[in-house]
Amino acid sequence: MPTPPAPAPQKNNPLHGVTLEAMVVALSEHYGWDELAQRIPIRCFALDPSVASSLKFLRKTPWARDKVEGLYLFMGREQRRAGGR
């Protein structure tokens, strides 16, 4: 059986190479769990939050993962703008 080709590099994808865990950690450090729960109102951020419980939920819930990815990209844009001043 032939080996499948390696995936093409995704230089235009800002999330390429960023794990879901890295996103959750960065967001929780930047915003804190309370503000994160306000920005994305899901229980795993509001009630007894942890990276492990968040990852378990986000891996099973595509709509919530999309929101986390969107907020992570927004946070990155905010940081770049603040650093450019």
Which CATH number applies to 20-83? 1.10.720.30
Q: Decide if 69 contacts 15 (C-beta within 8 A).
A: yes
Spatial distance between the Cα atoms of 85 and 8, rounded to a whole number of angstroms: 35
- Per-residue pLDDT at 6: 64
- Please give, one letter per residue, the 3-state secondary structure of 5-73: CCCCCCCCCCCCCCCHHHHHHHHHHHHHHHHHHHHCCCHHHHCCCCHHHHHHHHHHCHHHHHHHHHHHH
21-77 pLDDT, tens digit each: 999 999 999 999 999 999 999 999 999 999 999 999 999 999 999 999 999 999 999
Q: What is the pTM of this model?
A: 0.82
